């Protein structure tokens, strides 16, 4: 698949789940719960012990049924290791040109972290496939609306502090998708399944407004 095809698949549900755990077993259990709940895109944070092994296992077992990526990728070495492990996309809390260059060399999309208009523009210049607005808790959806009025070409992914209630508001403000961690995965399987079903339904119904264009045209050139 081309980078744009992977990006589209990864963000198709307008949400990607972040798995960040204290142990490999805990991460595997969380991933299984999320996948069973119907979430199809998972970011395995490299802060999790044996995260790359988890990426490899999930990618091998799930094939095209899910899109598994690596998160908290901070440098070129980590990027190459994640790509070799089978990560389909990379996410970073920061903007490092070498992470983008390394992943793109092997056809893997990157969603680097940005927090200012200057960083957004710089990330676009570097060819980032989508932009992780981090931490989203420092902003509100109206900020994103204002930024996208000036930068409608910026595909933003609010992450960090996003909840089931606020996620549709971010989409309505012009976000192409949101990243969610414990706010999505916390609880037993039934709780997560119910929460995920509610979230996916609300995200599917959310209508972007305010900024020029919609999220599909920004991401895929439509």
Residues with catalytic function: 43, 132
Determine the Cα–Cα distance for residues 121 and 68; give it in Å rounded to an integer: 27
Q: Are 132 and 43 in contact (CB under 8 A)?
A: no
Determine the Cα–Cα distance for residues 24 and 16; give it in Å rounded to an integer: 19
Radius of gyration of the chain (CA): 16
Please work out, in degrees rounded to the nearest 5, the angle formed at the alpha carbon of residue 221 by the alpha carbons of 217 and 222. 55
Those residues with Cβ within 8 angstroms of residue 214's Cβ, 6 or more apart along the chain or in another chain: 208
Those residues with Cβ within 8 angstroms of residue 206's Cβ, 6 or more apart along the chain or in another chain: 14, 167, 168, 171, 172
Alpha helices, H only, the chain? 3-10, 24-36, 51-62, 76-85, 97-105, 117-125, 141-150, 167-172, 182-185, 189-205, 215-220
């Amino acid at each position: 698949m081309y980078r744009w095809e992977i990006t589209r698949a990864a963000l198709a549900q307008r949400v990607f789940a972040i798995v960040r755990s204290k142990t490999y077993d805990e991460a595997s259990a969380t991933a299984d719960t999320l996948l069973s709940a119907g979430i199809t895109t998972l970011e395995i944070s490299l802060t999790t012990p044996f995260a790359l092994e988890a990426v490899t296992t999930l990618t091998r077992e799930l094939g095209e049924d899910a899109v598994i990526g690596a998160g908290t990728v901070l440098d070129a070495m980590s990027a190459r290791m994640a790509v070799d492990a089978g990560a389909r996309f990379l996410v970073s809390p920061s903007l490092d040109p070498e992470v983008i260059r390394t992943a793109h060399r092997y056809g893997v999309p990157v969603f680097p972290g940005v927090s200012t208009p200057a960083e957004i523009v710089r990330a676009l210049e570097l060819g980032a496939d989508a932009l992780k607005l981090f931490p989203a808790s420092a902003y509100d959806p109206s900020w994103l609306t204002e930024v996208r009025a000036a930068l409608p070409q910026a595909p933003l992914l609010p992450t960090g502090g996003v909840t089931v209630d606020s996620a549709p508001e971010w989409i309505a403000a012009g976000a192409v998708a949101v990243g969610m961690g414990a706010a999505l995965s916390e609880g037993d399987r039934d709780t997560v399944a119910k929460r995920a079903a509610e979230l996916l339904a609300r995200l599917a119904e959310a209508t972007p407004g305010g900024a020029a264009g919609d999220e599909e045209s920004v991401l895929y050139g439509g």
